[in-house]
Chain A
Amino acid sequence: VNGPVLTLAEHHEGLLVRATLETLSVARELADRLNARLAAAVIGESVRHLSPDLARQGADRVFVFEGPLLAAYATEVWARAVAALIEETAPSAVILPGTTLGRDVAPRLAARFGLGLASESARFLVASDGRIRAERVVFGGRIVETVSWERRPILATLRAGAGCVRPGDPSRNAETEMRAVANQARARVVALRPMAAGSAAGPDLSEARVVVAAGRGLGAPENLRVIERLAKALGAAVGGSRAVVDAGWLDHQRQIGQTGRTVAPDLYIACGISGAVQHLAGMNASRTVVAINRDAEAPIFAAADFGLVGDVLEIAPRLSAALAEAAIEPPPGGASWKDGSA
């Protein structure tokens, strides 16, 4: 009998974040293949209301750690909570979202239990003998590395975009159990100002299904407005290349690429980005890529599905207008209505 698949649910402003939904979908699939149950831990000041959401997304058991001392994230407290569940439930797999939180907690668990940790996992495979393998995406999204573990539980964090967000199943229920973290107050690290709610402008890169990314081809920082307008028309998040971040046009948390973030939205629109390998590393798992660039020879076109050669300052506003027009016309064949209700 396989022990459960255990995961940690990250939430923000009372809602599960997209990375949690992706993790639940991947973890549910692995649990099904192992014929195992899926357990989810959720930690915070007041989080038991998330239990039905976790059940709808596939959890069979939800472990709730709640209390005023858990209002702000603290590495060691979160790690102790998950470690206690590993001891209690003897899981076959522990799968965490590849967010800053998941990547902060997971190594502590690996060291505590002497386990291998597969970061940036994109997929799990179960062999007929029950051996679990993971595919990691490495070297700037150009290489898939298949890894296996010496022993269980296997431990992994997920790469952004590894799982599809599945529609919730409202008929599903989960057992909800309350747990307490030992030594909550023993904190060597104190959050003086945890993340303020809604402090970033526009949607976060990891939540967005569409990303519009700005490059040096925009010419000047004031031209970012064109990109912001296009992003608004698409409900997209704004990102940028390293060149734009190093020039101070955007904050580092908006940088996409090797020394920035990895995103995998449904649609990625590269505006005035030439497409250095370091940039491609952060976006080449996107489902559809559109490149707009003045230079027909720019390497970004080799990494794109659609290419538009021209001045992004001329094309982007017309794209915003065309999207606005398209939004009022009925969709072709009603296809997107079907998608919308699924």
Chain B
Amino acid sequence: MRILVGLKQVPDDTLGLPFASGGQLASSAQHSWMLSPFDRYAIEEALRIRDATGGEVVVAHVGPDNPPSVLTEGLALGADRAVHVWDATLPSLDPLATARALAGVIRRLAPVDLILCGQRGVGEEHGQIPGLLAELLDLPQVTFVVRTELLDDHRLRVEREVECGREIWETSLPAVLSAQKGLNEPRQRSLKGVLGAKKKPIDRPGRADLALTDADLEPQLRIDAVRPIPPRGAVRMIPGDPDTQARELVRLLREEGRLP
């Protein structure tokens, strides 16, 4: 099987987001970067399926790959090769343009039996690439996947997480899956993996190789402004012993109409 995993690089905002003066988000150079956490489940599942059935795992990323590189991370974890779509002539890509570029990568790699992505990139929270890809490539999709079981070369049984539980679906292959947390326990990269990653090939197709027109890359969704949300007002601390605290809290919640 050939499995493609789409990767997304996101700002590591654990320590807060850098703002430039004027309330705008700081330029990308000032962020520290990481692989979107959901992508780790996608990579892990792809590696497990490959190890069970043979074939290869290709990781692909559209956009600048700031250090630490997400493609190097994917290769260090065990992917066989990587595809990087980025050059200085590309405009800033919205989710649809990104998906069109990724669809070009998948057509170029054909045949691809399975496509895996994280269910969304944390931070920007679009969560669109899996569904966009499936429609662009006319493939079935299963999102929020928490379990996979390969029935044969053409059929996959899948569990997906919904609001109040899990569903079991069966899909034909090729298909697009989006990985939800809980799908597996992602591995850590090993020293051997890190060293081996340097020898693995990275393909860098240009827009002509992917048959992308200017119209394909034109953003349909534009960001007009960005501003921080003001923090919540000052917290009211309720002192006393547990009994007093509990009674006082209930009194305040009631008086202020905060109890539904």
- Chain A interfacial positions (CB closer than 8 Å to B): 12, 17, 75-76, 79, 99-101, 103-108, 110-112, 114-120, 133, 136-151, 188-196, 199-200, 204-206, 209-210, 234-235, 252-253, 255, 258-260, 266-267, 277-278, 281, 284, 287-291, 301-311, 314-315, 318-319, 321-323, 325-326, 331-332, 335-336, 339
Given contacts A17-B163, A100-B161, 16 further A-B contacts (CB under 8 A): A103-B131, A108-B131, A111-B99, A117-B126, A140-B13, A141-B229, A143-B227, A191-B167, A204-B164, A258-B37, A303-B231, A308-B238, A310-B242, A326-B259, A336-B257, A339-B257
Which residue of chain A lies nearest to B16 when distances are taken between CB atoms in the complex?
A277
Query: In the complex the two chains form, what is the Cα distance from A258 to B222 in whole Å?
Result: 24
Does chain A have a CB within 8 A of B89? no
Query: In the complex the two chains form, what is the Cα distance from A192 to B130 in whole Å?
Result: 22
Does chain A have a CB within 8 A of B109? no
User: Which residues of chain A come closer than 8 Å to B259, judged between CB atoms?
Assistant: 234, 267, 326, 336
User: Which residues of chain B come closer than 8 Å to A115, judged between CB atoms?
Assistant: 96, 220
6 A-B pairs within 8 Å (CB atoms) are namely A192-B168, A199-B164, A304-B235, A306-B238, A306-B249, A326-B254
Within 8 A of A (CB), among B225-252: 225-229, 231-233, 235-239, 242-243, 245-247, 249-252
CB atoms of B94 and A116 under 8 A apart: yes
> Lowest 5 A-B CB distances belong to which pairs?
A107-B131, A116-B221, A116-B220, A111-B135, A318-B246
Within 8 A of A (CB), among B129-176: 129-136, 139-144, 146, 157, 160-172, 175
CB atoms of A252 and B161 under 8 A apart: yes
User: Which residues of chain A come closer than 8 Å to B134, judged between CB atoms?
Assistant: 107-108, 111
CB atoms of A143 and B222 under 8 A apart: no
Identify which of B70-78, B80-88, B117-125 touches chain A. Answer: B117-125
CB atoms of B226 and A145 under 8 A apart: yes
What is the CB-to-nearest-CB distance from B196 to chain A, in angstroms, rounded to a whole number? 28
User: Which residues of chain A come closer than 8 Å to B38, judged between CB atoms?
Assistant: 259
Which residue of chain B lies nearest to A304 when distances are taken between CB atoms in the complex?
B235
Query: In the complex the two chains form, what is the Cα distance from A76 to B226 in whole Å?
Result: 34
What is the CB-to-nearest-CB distance from B254 to chain A, in angstroms, rounded to a whole number? 6
CB atoms of A119 and B125 under 8 A apart: yes
Which residue of chain B lies nearest to A314 when distances are taken between CB atoms in the complex?
B242
Known contacts A133-B224, A139-B123, A143-B228; A306 and B235 CB within 8 A of each other: yes
Known contacts A75-B140, A339-B257; A146 and B243 CB within 8 A of each other: no
A151 contacts which of B95, B131, B220, B225 (Cβ < 8 Å)? B220
Does chain A have a CB within 8 A of B258? yes
User: Which residues of chain A come closer than 8 Å to B182, judged between CB atoms?
Assistant: 252
Query: In the complex the two chains form, what is the Cα distance from A118 to B127 in whole Å?
Result: 10
User: Which residues of chain B come closer than 8 Å to A281, judged between CB atoms?
Assistant: 122
What is the CB-to-nearest-CB distance from B74 to chain A, in angstroms, rounded to a whole number? 19
Which residue of chain B lies nearest to A194 when distances are taken between CB atoms in the complex?
B167
Does chain A have a CB within 8 A of B181? yes
**Per-residue A-contact encoding for B3-39, CB less than 8 Å = 1, 0 else:** 0000000010110110000000100000000000110
Known contacts A108-B131, A310-B245; A253 and B165 CB within 8 A of each other: yes
Known contacts A259-B122, A301-B235; A315 and B165 CB within 8 A of each other: no
Which residue of chain A lies nearest to B233 when distances are taken between CB atoms in the complex?
A305
CB atoms of A302 and B242 under 8 A apart: no
CB atoms of B236 and A191 under 8 A apart: no
User: Which residues of chain B come closer than 8 Å to A335, judged between CB atoms?
Assistant: 257
CB atoms of B13 and A195 under 8 A apart: no
CB atoms of A137 and B167 under 8 A apart: no
Which residue of chain A lies nearest to B157 when distances are taken between CB atoms in the complex?
A192
Does chain A have a CB within 8 A of B218? yes
Query: In the complex the two chains form, what is the Cα distance from A301 to B238 in whole Å?
Result: 11
Which residue of chain A lies nearest to B238 when distances are taken between CB atoms in the complex?
A308
CB atoms of A188 and B171 under 8 A apart: yes
What is the CB-to-nearest-CB distance from B123 to chain A, in angstroms, rounded to a whole number? 5
User: Which residues of chain B come closer than 8 Å to A103, judged between CB atoms?
Assistant: 127, 131, 143
Does chain A have a CB within 8 A of B255? yes
A267 contacts which of B165, B224, B258 (Cβ < 8 Å)? B258
Query: In the complex the two chains form, what is the Cα distance from A146 to B229 in whole Å?
Result: 12
CB atoms of B249 and A150 under 8 A apart: no
CB atoms of A146 and B144 under 8 A apart: no
What is the CB-to-nearest-CB distance from A97 to chain B, in angstroms, rounded to a whole number? 11
CB atoms of B246 and A75 under 8 A apart: no
Does chain A have a CB within 8 A of B92? no
Known contacts A146-B226, A199-B164, A258-B122; A277 and B37 CB within 8 A of each other: no
CB atoms of B96 and A149 under 8 A apart: no
CB atoms of A110 and B227 under 8 A apart: no
What is the CB-to-nearest-CB distance from A106 to chain B, in angstroms, rounded to a whole number? 7
Count chain B CB atoms within 10 A of each CB in A17, A118, A141, A145 and give the residue with the most: A145
CB atoms of A114 and B128 under 8 A apart: no
User: Which residues of chain A come closer than 8 Å to B237, judged between CB atoms?
Assistant: 301, 306-309
Which residue of chain B lies nearest to A289 when distances are taken between CB atoms in the complex?
B232
User: Which residues of chain A come closer than 8 Å to B246, judged between CB atoms?
Assistant: 315, 318-319, 321-322
What is the CB-to-nearest-CB distance from A330 to chain B, in angstroms, rounded to a whole number? 11
User: Which residues of chain A come closer than 8 Å to B140, judged between CB atoms?
Assistant: 75-76, 188-189
